[in-house]
Amino acid sequence: MAAPRIEGTATRREQILRTAAVLFARHGYHGVSIAELGAAVGISGPALYRHFPGKDAVLASLLIDISERLLAGGRERADGEPREVVAALVDFQLAFALREPELIVVQDRDLDNLPEGDRRRVRRVQRTYVEIWVEALRRVHPDLAPEEARVAAHGTFGLLNSTPHSGSRSSPDEVAALLRRMALRALDVL
């Protein structure tokens, strides 16, 4: 299994997580062994246990971390003029989708491989993030029912998070501009 290229001066734990995201996205959680993950970061499989108690802990760390980062970013953007808040949320989600497409694939495919407690934690954090969007959308469109706003938020995530599956040969800037326009028009905030 070829090791993904990890830039910068990441800690060993960060390196393991970034590498795991790439390998899990390529091969699936069950398609990557501890030995393969360790080899991809230049350590033995058993040495991985110094950083994580097991492969399930690596997956949990990946999905809990990204869910909490999205929630924190959503909260940072939640105040202000309603249309600007929605635009800021779209930009934030889009930046994540373009920067970390592997995590989208891992989330879609491997969430059910988490231990139940971790899966519930991820879902709880994600629901809180969605509610930030619901609130923002309802401020722009006061007649929008909460359930409709949730559908709109999830539809927007589907659009923006489709980037790992698009196979686009366009530049990232062109893709970002197109998806941003589409999302803002769909949410009727342009």
> For residue 190, what pLDDT is reported?
58
Asked if residue 64 lies in contact with residue 118, where contact means CB atoms within 8 angstroms, the answer is yes
Domain total for the chain?
A: 2
Quick one: 77 and 46 in the same domain?
no
- The secondary structure of residue 115, as a DSSP letter, is -
> For residue 6, what pLDDT is reported?
46
pLDDT, the chain, mean: 92
Which tokens in the block code for residue 162?
């489709």
Distance CA 145, CA 178 (A): 28
- In one-letter notation, the amino acid at residue 78 is A
Chain segment 46-70, per-residue pLDDT in tens: 899 999 999 999 999 999 999 999 9
Quick one: 83 and 148 in the same domain?
yes
Quick one: 137 and 154 in the same domain?
yes
Give the alpha-carbon dihedral of 21, 172, 127, 112, to 10 degrees.
-30
Quick one: 107 and 45 in the same domain?
no
Quick one: 80 and 173 in the same domain?
yes
Return the closest-CA partner of residue 29 out of 123, 116, 120, 112: 112
- Tens of pLDDT, residue by residue, the chain (190 residues): 554 544 455 699 999 999 999 999 999 999 999 999 999 999 998 899 999 999 999 999 999 999 999 999 999 999 999 999 999 999 999 999 999 999 999 999 999 999 999 999 999 999 999 999 999 999 999 999 999 999 999 999 999 998 766 666 778 888 899 999 999 999 998 5
Residue 2 located in a structural domain: no
Quick one: 143 and 70 in the same domain?
yes
Which domain CATH number covers 135? 1.10.357.10
Quick one: 156 and 63 in the same domain?
yes
Cα angle 54, 56, 62; round to 5: 110
Quick one: 59 and 46 in the same domain?
no
Quick one: 166 and 109 in the same domain?
yes
Regarding pTM above 0.85, the answer is yes
Quick one: 22 and 88 in the same domain?
no
> For residue 96, what pLDDT is reported?
95
Q: Whole domain around residue 17: which residue ranges?
A: 12-50
Residue 21 located in a structural domain: yes
